[in-house]
């Protein structure tokens, strides 16, 4: 009848991971008192047994951890909350979507959800490349009331029947997608005169936070690398050795990479950004 996440292990290699379950919710600064890692990543806590969880709540860095802190940080975090009994079938309970939050996030389950693993899928931070988790709690009975402000509070009803189910791990895929975004960004930085940098980097930003169809990407990510990125890279290397580049061939190669990934992982909103970018390239 307690916070069964207290003192439990974080599976992933987060810096200061012990901070996420050590019970400290009042003493944290901009430099200490939280677990952190570059996003996207997962933070998964193994509760070591299956429990009926009434409440899951966690504290995202909000700048209020100092004794006299009164001003909330303006940053927001985007994330998803999942649970699992067997580390294979994951139930998605909440997705911030286009919104973002910091501070305390509390989820009450009616009826309680059975779970051994609690996962925060850390997707984005508006301030920098790091995702900061001060504390995670999982209660196998009604949780005690908090004295701190709860920024987001949700009641999840009939969670197992109504939510989405994902099989396998999202972490390796997220890293692969992030690597692809890094490759595109690197090419843009090397050739700023050939490409309109700002709209393309906006697309990269969207790519980093939107990868909904996990299974489809898992099936196609390797073919994206072998059929598009590697041939374009090889052609660039050949052209470099010959001392000349094909500007339009280069541009359309990059467009091919982006459109292929966009078709798999991002929303219509991001797709419109691609269309606008292509119009800018063509001068229309």
What number is the average pLDDT over the span 221-242? 59
Q: Is the confidence at residue 224, as pLDDT, over 60?
A: no
Task: CATH number of the domain at 128, please.
Answer: 2.60.120.260
Does 206 share its domain with 151?
Answer: no
Q: Is the confidence at residue 244, as pLDDT, over 60?
A: no
In a domain, 11, yes or no: no
Sign of the CA dihedral running 200, 120, 126, 36 = negative
Does 151 share its domain with 188?
Answer: no
What local confidence, expressed as pLDDT, does residue 214 receive?
Answer: 47
The beta strands (E) that lie in the chain are given as: 35-38, 41-60, 77-84, 89-95, 103-125, 130-139, 150-157, 164-167
What local confidence, expressed as pLDDT, does residue 222 receive?
Answer: 46
Q: Is the confidence at residue 280, as pLDDT, over 90?
A: no
In a domain, 8, yes or no: no
Does 158 share its domain with 178?
Answer: no
Q: Is the confidence at residue 219, as pLDDT, over 90?
A: no
What torsion, rounded to 10 degrees, do the Cα atoms 246, 250, 256, 262 define?
-160
258 band by pLDDT with thresholds 50, 70 and 90: low
Does 176 share its domain with 114?
Answer: no
Strand partners, 37: 131
| Bridging pattern class, strands 77-84 and 103-125 | antiparallel
Looking at 167, 191, 207, the residue that finishes a domain is: 167
Highest mean pLDDT among 69-73, 77-81, 195-199, 202-206: 77-81
In a domain, 226, yes or no: yes
For 202-213, the pLDDT digits (tens) are: 777 766 665 544
**% of the chain at pLDDT higher than 70:** 61
What local confidence, expressed as pLDDT, does residue 101 receive?
Answer: 97
More confident position, 236 or 16:
16
For 7-54, the pLDDT digits (tens) are: 999 999 999 999 999 999 999 999 999 999 999 899 999 999 999 999
| Bridging pattern class, strands 103-125 and 150-157 | parallel
Q: Is the confidence at residue 230, as pLDDT, over 70?
A: no
In a domain, 4, yes or no: no
**% of the chain at pLDDT higher than 90:** 51
Does 140 share its domain with 59?
Answer: yes
More confident position, 105 or 225:
105
DSSP summary character for residue 180: H
- Are 116 and 123 in contact by the 8 Å Cβ rule? The answer is no
What local confidence, expressed as pLDDT, does residue 158 receive?
Answer: 78
Cβ contacts of 192 within 8 Å, gap of 6 or more? none
Does 133 share its domain with 251?
Answer: no
In a domain, 109, yes or no: yes
Q: Is the confidence at residue 215, as pLDDT, over 50?
A: no
What number is the average pLDDT over the span 269-279? 52
In a domain, 156, yes or no: yes
More confident position, 253 or 279:
253
Mapped onto helix, strand or coil, the DSSP state of residue 259 is helix
For 156-196, the pLDDT digits (tens) are: 997 655 568 888 765 545 556 666 677 777 777 777 666 55
Domain count, the chain: 2
Q: Is the confidence at residue 223, as pLDDT, over 90?
A: no
Q: Among 21-30, 147-156, 227-236, 268-277, which stretch is predicted with the lowest mean pLDDT?
A: 268-277
In a domain, 259, yes or no: yes
Does 185 share its domain with 74?
Answer: no
Looking at 167, 192, 213, the residue that finishes a domain is: 167
Provide the domain limits for residue 194: 172-282
- Are 199 and 280 in contact by the 8 Å Cβ rule? The answer is yes
Averaged pLDDT score across all residues of the chain: 80
| Bridging pattern class, strands 89-95 and 41-60 | unpaired
What number is the average pLDDT over the span 97-110? 95
Which string of b and e fits 208-232 if b means at least 16 CB within 10 Å? bbbbeebeebbebbeebbeebbeeb
Does 100 share its domain with 57?
Answer: yes
């Amino acid at each position: 009848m307690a916070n069964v996440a207290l003192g439990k292990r974080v599976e992933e290699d987060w810096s200061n991971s012990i901070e996420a379950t050590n019970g400290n919710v009042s003493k944290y600064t901009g430099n200490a008192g939280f677990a952190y890692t570059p996003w996207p990543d997962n933070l998964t806590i193994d509760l070591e047994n299956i429990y009926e969880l009434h409440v899951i709540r966690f504290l995202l860095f909000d700048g209020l951890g100092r004794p006299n802190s009164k001003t909330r940080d303006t940053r927001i975090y985007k994330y998803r909350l999942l649970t699992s009994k067997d580390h294979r079938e994951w139930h998605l309970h909440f997705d911030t979507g286009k919104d973002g939050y910091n501070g305390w996030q509390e989820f009450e389950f009616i009826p309680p959800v059975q779970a051994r693993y609690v996962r925060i899928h850390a997707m984005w931070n508006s301030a920098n490349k790091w995702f900061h988790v001060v504390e995670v709690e999982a209660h196998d009975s009604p949780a005690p009331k908090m004295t701190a402000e709860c920024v987001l509070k949700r009641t999840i009803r009939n969670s197992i029947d109504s939510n989405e189910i994902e099989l396998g791990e999202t972490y390796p895929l997220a890293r692969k997608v992030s690597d692809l975004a890094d490759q595109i960004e690197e090419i843009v930085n090397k050739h700023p005169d050939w490409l309109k940098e700002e709209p393309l980097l906006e697309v990269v930003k969207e790519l980093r936070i939107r990868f909904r169809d996990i299974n489809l990407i898992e099936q196609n990510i390797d073919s994206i690398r072998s059929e598009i990125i590697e041939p374009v890279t090889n052609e660039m290397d050949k052209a470099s050795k010959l001392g000349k580049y094909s500007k339009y061939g280069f541009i359309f190669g990059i467009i091919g990479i982006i459109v292929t990934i966009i078709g798999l992982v991002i929303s219509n909103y991001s797709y419109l950004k691609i269309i606008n970018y292509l119009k800018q390239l063509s001068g229309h």
